[in-house]
Copies of this chain bind each other. A is one copy, B any other.
Amino acid sequence: MTVAYDGSGFRGFAAQRGQTTVAGSLAAALHAVVGHEVALTCAGRTDAGVHAAGQVVHFDVDPARARPQILGEGLDTAAIQRSCNRMLAPGIVVTEAAVAPPGFDARRSARWRRYRYLLLNREVPDPFLARTSWLVADELDLTAMQLSCDAVHGEHDFAAFCRRPPAPEATTVRRVLTAGWTRQPHIGPDVLAFEITATSFCHQMVRSLVGTMVDMGKGRLRAGEMAWILRAADRSLAGPPAPPHGLCLMEVGYPPEVLGSAR
């Protein structure tokens, strides 16, 4: 299933006892719709406050225990989608639902994830962009921010931009496919967006990159220092992470041979 959500109302994606989370809400709805408990696997575990336009999740349905209403000729994915949306929209919306090919795994089959970070660069706030963009009143040098992206492209150790110290055997090496800043006049006159596609991401990597690049836009750091911060792999050299509400998981990429006819 492809899932969109407004992260404002949730303590992140991953289920946590006693907290309203995306996975918790979705699993509860699916339990009612499918007729048995399901275990959800997602492509990218978003943090509290982070949004998604194209999160991907998979789960297994046991035909022996499933409600007959969702088993027509094969699984009635349209009925599952409609029922979930009736229970969860507009906070969580299932935008697509399909039977996955054998062996498909929402996390392990993914080849890349694309995130977008929105920034409103002016002094006066906007009530309609407040939930989805970070208000930065200081003047920003967009050229410097754009320049700092060069060093991020390709395969690097992103330890300087990882919040959670990974397990000793885990790697913080990631491969960035595209990264860049653009103006977004169709969203609003002073809206900037950072879009980044990578094979996968460390914890808080996008927000740490944005925080550091905004420091470069303000002139606190020079754009040329990005390469050096990466090489030093020292978290204290990077800027503070940008707030979660500007971030959105836009899209997850799967190779055609894995997706099959599912999408």
Using CB atoms and an 8 Å cutoff, list the residues of chain A in contact with chain B.
4-6, 51, 53, 81, 85, 89-95, 124-128, 130, 132, 135, 186
User: Which residues from B are CB-within-8-Å of A94?
Assistant: 124
Give this chain's copy count. Answer: 2
CA distance A128 to B4 in the complex (A): 9
Q: Is the CB of A128 within 8 A of B85?
A: no
Please name 18 pairs of A and B residues whose Cβ atoms are closer than 8 Å in the assembled complex, sorted by A: A4-B126, A4-B128, A5-B127, A6-B128, A85-B124, A85-B125, A89-B125, A90-B125, A90-B126, A90-B127, A90-B130, A90-B135, A92-B127, A93-B125, A93-B126, A93-B127, A128-B132, A186-B186
A4 to B127, CA, bound (A): 7
Contacts of A124 in B (CB 8 A): 81, 85, 93-95
Starting from the known contacts A6-B128, A51-B128, 20 additional A-B residue pairs (CB-CB under 8 Å) come to A4-B126, A4-B128, A5-B127, A6-B130, A51-B127, A81-B124, A85-B124, A85-B125, A89-B125, A89-B127, A90-B127, A90-B135, A91-B127, A92-B127, A93-B124, A93-B125, A93-B127, A95-B124, A128-B132, A186-B186
Chain B min CB distance to A250 (Å) = 12
Smallest CB gap from A96: residue in B: B124
Give the shortest distance, in Å, between A1 (CB) and chain B (any CB): 12
A91 to B4, alpha carbons, bound, how many Å?
24
CA gap between A6 and B132 in the complex, in Å: 14
Complex formed: what's the CA distance from A4 to B94 in Å? Answer: 31
Residues of B within 8 A of A6 (CB): 127-128, 130
